[in-house]
Chain A
Amino acid sequence: MLELKNCSVSFGPPSNRVDVLKDLNLTVEKNEFVAVIGFSGAGKSTLISLLAGLQKPTTGQVLINGKEMNGPGPDRGLMFQNYSLLPWLSVNDNVKLAIKTVFPKMSKSEVSDKIEHYVKMVKLDHAGTKKPHELSGGMRQRASLARTLALDPEVLLLDEPLSALDALTRSELQDQILNIWENDKRTVVMITNDVDEAVLMADRIAPLTMGPGATLADEFKVNMERPRARRTLNDHPEFMRLKTQITLFMMGLNKNSKNDQKTPLIPMPDIRPRDFALPSANIRLKNKNNQPTTAA
């Protein structure tokens, strides 16, 4: 169980302190899939750093299984937004580094079995010996997923894992992650900016309000049976309802935030652009009937 209790994170000197996150409360039950959705710049990455232990809260508490969290650790596998694979190691070696660190006493053959297992799980077994720069974005993200899974973490923290990918790769990877999670249940917190993705994958969706001083608004529960079929999703009334509801909520947030911004209005000078168009009848005639104009 993962808990955030009244957490705030602020940066800057005391005289000019900016609260990035304010009064955050979140409880993630065991084996639950929670998605945190928010706009870019709202502080999503700070939130996941908080959960991973990379960032300490300025005030409040982060609890894991009821105990205060003390720094990062392999029990909370963090999958980074920009892959963070070590570029001088092959895919296999990246996974190996994770396994060797978490299971230092494992025998050589066990380690290689495990590498094979996880690399196969993310369908990268054909590219195990390749270096990250030889892989596409989607393959890199899968390698990163394999490395995170190899830690055998209690909690899986996914920091916008799919936002850098194209739509097709993205849906493929969504299915893969869901598949892996369903076969081997564990606690997952996923950060995303895609409403569809959140509704498709999560049990619960916590919207992050606009920063600065972002906090978590009332959550949406996803009451959809699993496995969720991507093909019939658009006909699923619950999916459509949630999607609309969340989208409207998020758009409302955006609007509120814009209203909140107290930028003074700058009056624009009262001028009209001058018309530089040539008074040539020819040109007007040509454009009148939507004729294809050829470049002179």
Chain B
Amino acid sequence: MIFAHMKFFSKIKYPILKAIDVSGLTFLSPVVRLCYGEEPRVQMKKISQWILIPICAIILFIFLWAYGSTVVKTKSGSVPGPLETLKAGESISKFGNYEKAKEEAYTLTGPERDEALKKAQARLGKMDPIVKAATDQVGGAKAQYAEVIKKRTSGMTSRRDALKKSYSANQSARKASLAALADTLTPGNETAYENFMKEVKDHTDKTDLEKEELATLAKEIKEIEDEKSDDVAKALFAQTRAAEERQFLQKQIDQLTTQNKGLKIETAQAKIQEDARVLLTLTGPEAVKAAGKIAKARSRLVKTEESVYAGPKTLGYQIKRSILCVFAGFLIGAFIAIPIGILCGLNSTFMAAMTPFIAIFKPVSPIVWLPICLIIASAVVPSPDDSAFMDWLWEDAWILNHYDINPAFIASAITVALCSLWATLANTALGVASIDKDHLNVARVLKLGFWPRLFKIVIPSALPLIFAGLRISLGVGWMVLIAAELLSSSEGIGKFVWDQFNNGASDSFAKLFVVVFVVGIIGLLLDRIMIVFQRLVSFEGSPTAI
């Protein structure tokens, strides 16, 4: 309706719809059609089905999740609900921002550095009262809550104390009567001994019962005392936030002053100049010593100039490295799977030779491949000091720069490749084997040689299925990668999961929930990218994926 009368917009209507179709975001097309006023009722029906209903489902899911999280209690506290997860996500992103600011601070120089320093110091000056207020708040909340707990348990504790007293009195009374009974025993009188035994048993049974009752009561009291208060939790959260910010500001100031790269370089240069001036006055062995010192200082200076900020890894970095790793593994897998798949499709003898390997290796779990890859990779991959190539990868490779291509990374990538190549292999073989016979006859009539036939007929015809396979491979690879990183301690999302699992912080459980969504959304995006590629190479009547 809105766009229908404008010439420009009516011109781009079909390109937009086609782009939506290619990208697989078909749920958007009724919205576009509605904007052009095309059959509003039909479009509204589609919109309510494909947009409103999913939104309702999501809302319903969030409510169920919020309810469910209050029901299930675990050793690491209650299951995080949507709100906790959101907060954890916020704190992850805050941590990332802090690290980014520190990294920036490390390289700042001149007036920019001064300005940043002034700003950070001003903020830090304000932080102390804030932190103090937050700490007071926590103390207050805790004291208040302790009061509440005390009130709730006071009846129970006094009852417990009274019981304890009366039970111990009972016990000593029973013991005394038993001792008296024991004195009256005449040896040989069986009935008397039997009676005595009964009394003793009665006494122990009663004592056990009393102990049990006291223990139950103590447990109930403990349970109440252990209950966590929302107010305390909130106050603690605010305190942590404030403390974190203060700590960040201190560290940032460090990066701007003592740790600052520019300042370090300046002082080092000044020192070298000074030493050089002194050197000019020296002769003999002293000159040798001073010159050596200067040379050492110079090489240290070069290292400082090349250095980058070394802080803890943020989730953003782990995500980037995981994506890099999954694509590395995916490409390795594709380079193996596509040629072998084509050969399998072209030649049934080769297919017969490969079938046992495919059948046996395909179901092998990443957990099995990973240690093998790790051992081999750490043995085969040289350290950057020994190999120029590794050094180049480590230091200068444009895209890999600062991503630490270590054996663990390579092992993870190869594991991804080994687990993900099968889908591509099978689909490529199928695509090549199921080429339309008429197209092959065309090749025969044209008398195409092997390579032209491969590149002009076979591969274009198999391409839709190859890409369908690649799409499945990338999905599998992404799933495998997280597990591989978790086990190999290769920096990445898997490592983040492992760190959070081992970390006892109050929100690490919630951070795992954040990771679920992060992994899911990235997987979705990867899939979408592959769908676009797949649609671009597809043609009418092309075979579809298996």
Contact = CB atoms under 8 A, between A and B. Distances in A.
Q: How large is the interface on B (under 10, 10 to 19, 20 to 34, 35 or more residues)?
A: 20 to 34
Contact of A77 (B444, B445, B461, B540): B445
Question: Of residues B441, B442, B463, which shows the largest number of chain A Cβ atoms within 10 Å of its Cβ?
Answer: B442
Contacts of A97: 446, 456
Contact of A133 (B436, B445, B446, B539): B539
Given A86-B460, A88-B461, A97-B456, A74 B540 contact: no
A101 B438 CA distance: 18
15 contacts: A54-B441, A54-B444, A72-B445, A74-B445, A80-B438, A82-B438, A84-B438, A84-B442, A87-B539, A88-B460, A98-B446, A101-B446, A101-B448, A133-B540, A151-B445
The 4 closest A-B pairs by CB, nearest first: A133-B540, A84-B438, A87-B539, A88-B539
Contacts of A133: 539-541
Question: Of residues A74, A84, A131, which shows the largest number of chain B Cβ atoms within 10 Å of its Cβ?
Answer: A84
Contact of A87 (B441, B444, B540): B540
A82 B460 CA distance: 20
Contacts of B447: 71-74, 101
A102 interface: yes
A54 B319 CA distance: 56
Interface string A64-92: 00000001111011101010101111000
A84 B537 CA distance: 19
A94 to B, nearest CB: 9
Given A71-B444, A131-B540, 7 more contacts: A52-B445, A84-B436, A86-B442, A86-B457, A87-B539, A133-B541, A151-B445
A141 B148 CA distance: 89
A71 B443 CA distance: 12
A132 interface: yes
Contacts of B446: 74, 97-98, 101-102, 151
Contacts of B289: none
A256 B182 CA distance: 127
A84 B542 CA distance: 14
B54 interface: no
Interface of A: 52, 54, 71-74, 76-78, 80, 82, 84, 86-89, 97-98, 101-102, 131-133, 151
A86 B541 contact: no
Nearest to B446: A101
Contacts of A132: 540
B541 to A, nearest CB: 6
Interface string B505-542: 00000000000000000000000000000000101111
Nearest to B438: A84
B439 interface: yes
A151 to B, nearest CB: 8
Contacts of B537: 88
Contacts of B461: 86, 88
A291 B164 CA distance: 107
B135 to A, nearest CB: 70
Contacts of B463: 88
A84 B456 contact: no
A64 to B, nearest CB: 14
B77 interface: no
A56 to B, nearest CB: 12
B140 interface: no
A73 B445 CA distance: 5
B452 interface: yes
A78 B439 CA distance: 12
A140 B157 CA distance: 94
A77 B441 CA distance: 12
Given A72-B447, A88-B460, A97-B446, A131 B539 contact: yes
A52 B445 CA distance: 8
A84 B463 CA distance: 18
Interface in B430-456: 436, 438-439, 441-442, 444-448, 452, 456
B293 to A, nearest CB: 69
A105 B542 CA distance: 32
